[in-house]
A and B are shown apart, each in its own frame.
Chain A
Amino acid sequence: MSSLLARFAENLFWMARYMERAENLARILDVNESFARDSSGAQDWGPMVQLHNDDTAFSKQYKQATSDSVVNYYVIDRKNPNSIAYSVWAARENARSLRHLISIEVWSQLNVFYEFVRGLKPRDLRLAALSPLCQVIKEGCQLHTGIIEGTTYRDQGWTFYQLGKLIERADQTTRLLDIKYHRLLPQASDIGSAIDVSQWNALLRSAAAYHGYRRVHPSAMTPATVAGFILLRREFPRSVTACTRAIRNRLDELARDPDLAGVRLDLGPLQDLEGLVSVTIKEAIDQGLHEHLDKIQIALHSLANALAAVYFDAEEALQAQSQSQSQAMG
């Protein structure tokens, strides 16, 4: 008999999303120094803000997108829901409600990690200290993932956790690609220059894709091959294709679960997503990569909403179910 409260299913989903978000933020910040530097060595931190559509909220608080203000905003600013501090706080608050379900190791690590992040001060964010700090944060998130993998009982709760992680990861990958791709398209003056390749390297490294990419494309590095790898390469664990395939498997598990026989998920958003990753990178670029990535984000968003409507709000689901039954009978 299922006894996973709808509320806990939702908490598990969001705990996973927030931890995945924190890790991605650390990844992006980690490489941003080399990212932000243009060919003259000057830095531009604006794209970091555009990446998360935070321009309006950011400019309310800060005059300029300097390295200090941007790093501050994304690491320790608890008012920013896209900051590392906020994400880790929110993950822990979700975990707090889940403490009787998650392993003690998961709570303990998250608790200690949260204290570390909460204790960060502006002086810990100096540019020179930034990369090591991002490393520590990334490792904190990875430790969480590892403890979850090694200690979590494999029931529905595990599935909801994985769905949260996969949806967030796919979403973060599209955001990373969206903002960088256009920046990295070669300008006439840049072609052949050293900056070109180092930026491609940075993009791949921020997504932990560099070594995989090198194995598949030992010599070539074009905007299309890099974007294609990050977006569509099935073997690359952060690609939207890899995430979509894993989401499909997880949803199949839920569909087979006898405890959930009474409720049915709308698979429309998943089918949309599968359609969006079944194109070639050339087709996506020709039709407009930005628009394509937008569509993926919308499909992910609809999928999350569909999950919430069916599994996280048991009452509404029940009403829908009885409605659909009465329709079937009529």
Chain B
Amino acid sequence: MSTVNLRSSANGLLAGYDRGGFYCEITGTDGHSAPHTAAIRAWLDRTRLPTLRRRARDCERELYSLGITFTVYSDRDAIDRVLPFDVIPRPIAPAEWRTLERGLVQRVTAINQFLRDVYGPGRIFKDGIVPEELVTQNDNYRPEMAAVDIPFDSFVNICGVDLVRDGTGAFCVLEDNARTPSGVSYVIENRHLMQRAFPDMMEGVGIRPVSEYGMRLRDALAEMAPKEVLDPQIVLMSPGVFNSAYFEHIFLAREMGVPLVEGRDLVIDDGLVYMKTSGGRRRVDVIYRRIGDDFMDPEVFRPESMLGVPGIMEVYRKGRVALANAVGTGVADDKAVYAYMPRIIKYYLDQDPIIPNVETHICREKDALQYTLDHMAELVVKPVGESGGYGVVVGPRSSAAEIEACRAQLVADPENFISQPMVELSVCPTLTEAGTEPRHVDLRPFLITGRSTWVLPGGLTRVALKKGSLIVNSSQGGGTKDTWVLE
């Protein structure tokens, strides 16, 4: 069977496809032809490029009219743009997914225990596993959270973990998103779109469903409600229609059947949170907030914030309203803390990480610093305090002068840096101007945690649409794909 599937039809979409030496999500590697993708490869083989192009165009139009868009504002015109969608799916083998699932649950469990400890007894500091100042000096550390009671110690109710494959095809964690991870709406909408537009491609392929996300999220949020509340009022709190993720806020509110509120719709009275309804005030018990900690309460954090609710932190600290995610989770998805994550997992769970980190050298440690200084030309050096790729020096793509400048900084202030090898990232066949070509992809699975943790099968596959690019962010030419966890 494998010999048949290895040979691509001369006119099919995989004819002449060359994965360029990278691990391919559909064709695998030489010698390992990813048997789980046989049905998808067969479909690609019997489909012609013009057909795929036409159907891809139809998809784009449909996304637009359904309003599955992000909004760019200019003047008073609101321009809705479609996030580029690639119609060739990214499959994941059942066994591989089972391992990932276990690894993800392990990770979020450790993160939650870490947060309980950090905003509580601080054992991990006293035992010398993580340096205390690394956490307490962090911009995202919220001393206001000290000893605040959180149901089930579930600080991170919604978590997104960015995974990539290395050159050998093994998954590893690139980053944790423990504050307000976004993208889950595209996972579900992409699936619905594929079901409408490519029923023939799905024929005979068992795919784990993703539609129950909203229900799962609602249930977990209800579990977080103050104990005395029997039928909790849940709301989703958005910064408003100008936010680029507004579509996702609409989507989630609709999926959960809860009101989509803004700060101006909420008011604090007598130690409780209320929303302003057509019939007057109604109590709110759980808030899934899609705004950052520092905007939540102008009385505690940024005084200029117009998006939050003055006084809400006081109500929250007393346990009379639940916020998801909890305030202060930003210390868990920090780059510096990331480097310690394998040790954090070991410390709290006494287990080795099921999904490894990208190999990371913590330059505040002597041996790691020496290794980094010795291998600068091969490594990526990252300052821990920065985000968005700022200050990152990519050894293999830097001049000798840039490397020397970086070396000087490293020696002067080693605590501010980590280093990692260049990660190759796997590729997936993608429809491009030039036909079907390999493009790099990552994967962001989503986890929901209330009383226990549930993992959405698959997650958001982001694809770098530019040839050779490793940057999958939508702001920099990235698109998405449907992710198929196979049965």
In the complex, the chain B residue whose C-beta lies closest to that of A160 is: B278
Given contacts A97-B241, A99-B250, A5 and B280 within 8 Å (CB-CB): no
- A217 touches B (CB below 8 Å): no
Contacts of A257 in B (CB 8 A): 279
Which residues, 1 to 15 on A, are CB-close (under 8 Å) to B?
A: 1-9
6 CB < 8 A contacts A-B: A96-B78, A100-B259, A107-B67, A111-B67, A259-B279, A318-B280
Which residues, 81 to 134 on A, are CB-close (under 8 Å) to B?
A: 93, 96-97, 99-101, 104, 107-108, 111-112
- B267 touches A (CB below 8 Å): yes
Contacts of A321 in B (CB 8 A): 280
- A263 touches B (CB below 8 Å): yes
Contacts of B251 in A (CB 8 A): 100
A315 lies within 8 A of B66 (CB):
no
- Alpha-carbon separation in the docked complex, A312 to B260 (Å): 16
Contacts of A97 in B (CB 8 A): 241
Among candidates A1, A259, A260, A314, residue contacting B276 with C-beta atoms closer than 8 Å:
A314
- A317 touches B (CB below 8 Å): yes
Contacts of A99 in B (CB 8 A): 67, 250, 254
- Alpha-carbon separation in the docked complex, A61 to B251 (Å): 42
Contacts of B277 in A (CB 8 A): 2-6, 259, 314
- B357 touches A (CB below 8 Å): no
Interface size on B, residues (CB 8 A): 30
Interface centre among B233, B251, B254, B262 (most CB of A within 10 A): B254
Among candidates B80, B253, B282, residue contacting A1 with C-beta atoms closer than 8 Å:
B282
- Alpha-carbon separation in the docked complex, A100 to B254 (Å): 5
Contacts of A156 in B (CB 8 A): 278
- A329 touches B (CB below 8 Å): no
Q: Mask for A145-174, Cβ within 8 A of B = 1, else 0?
A: 000000000001000100000000000000
- Alpha-carbon separation in the docked complex, A261 to B275 (Å): 17
Given contacts A93-B78, A314-B277, A318-B281, A5 and B65 within 8 Å (CB-CB): no
Please report B residues at the A interface, Cβ cutoff 8 Å.
Answer: 64-67, 78, 80, 231, 233, 241, 249-251, 253-254, 258-262, 264-265, 267, 275-282
- Alpha-carbon separation in the docked complex, A41 to B455 (Å): 73
- Alpha-carbon separation in the docked complex, A259 to B233 (Å): 15
Extra A-B contacts (4), CB below 8 Å, given A5-B277, A107-B66: A2-B278, A5-B276, A100-B253, A314-B278
Please report A residues at the B interface, Cβ cutoff 8 Å.
Answer: 1-9, 93, 96-97, 99-101, 104, 107-108, 111-112, 156, 160, 257, 259-263, 311-312, 314-315, 317-318, 321
SS of B interface (majority): mixed
Contacts of B264 in A (CB 8 A): 7
B265 lies within 8 A of A3 (CB):
no
CB distance from B274 to the nearest CB of A (A): 9
Contacts of A107 in B (CB 8 A): 66-67
CB distance from A289 to the nearest CB of B (A): 37
- Alpha-carbon separation in the docked complex, A277 to B66 (Å): 43
Contacts of B281 in A (CB 8 A): 314, 318
In the complex, the chain B residue whose C-beta lies closest to that of A93 is: B78
CB distance from A210 to the nearest CB of B (A): 35
Given contacts A1-B233, A93-B78, A6 and B282 within 8 Å (CB-CB): no
CB distance from A160 to the nearest CB of B (A): 7
B275 lies within 8 A of A5 (CB):
yes
- Alpha-carbon separation in the docked complex, A328 to B222 (Å): 39
B67 lies within 8 A of A9 (CB):
no
A2 lies within 8 A of B279 (CB):
yes
B233 lies within 8 A of A3 (CB):
yes
Contacts of B249 in A (CB 8 A): 100
Contacts of B250 in A (CB 8 A): 99-100
CB distance from B70 to the nearest CB of A (A): 13
Contacts of B258 in A (CB 8 A): 3
- Alpha-carbon separation in the docked complex, A318 to B282 (Å): 11
B65 lies within 8 A of A111 (CB):
yes
Contacts of B64 in A (CB 8 A): 111
- Alpha-carbon separation in the docked complex, A97 to B276 (Å): 16
B280 lies within 8 A of A262 (CB):
yes
Q: What 10 pairs across the A-B complex have the smallest Cβ distances?
A: A314-B276, A100-B253, A100-B254, A99-B250, A260-B279, A9-B278, A311-B278, A100-B250, A259-B279, A262-B280
Contacts of B282 in A (CB 8 A): 1-3
B65 lies within 8 A of A108 (CB):
yes
A263 lies within 8 A of B275 (CB):
no
Contacts of A7 in B (CB 8 A): 262, 264-265, 276
CB distance from B120 to the nearest CB of A (A): 35
- Alpha-carbon separation in the docked complex, A104 to B233 (Å): 24
Interface centre among A6, A156, A312 (most CB of B within 10 A): A6
In the complex, the chain B residue whose C-beta lies closest to that of A118 is: B77
Contacts of A101 in B (CB 8 A): 254
Given contacts A97-B241, A111-B65, A312 and B78 within 8 Å (CB-CB): no
CB distance from B279 to the nearest CB of A (A): 4
CB distance from A90 to the nearest CB of B (A): 11
Interface centre among B66, B67, B233, B262 (most CB of A within 10 A): B67
B259 lies within 8 A of A3 (CB):
yes
- Alpha-carbon separation in the docked complex, A70 to B126 (Å): 79
Contacts of B231 in A (CB 8 A): 1
B259 lies within 8 A of A5 (CB):
yes
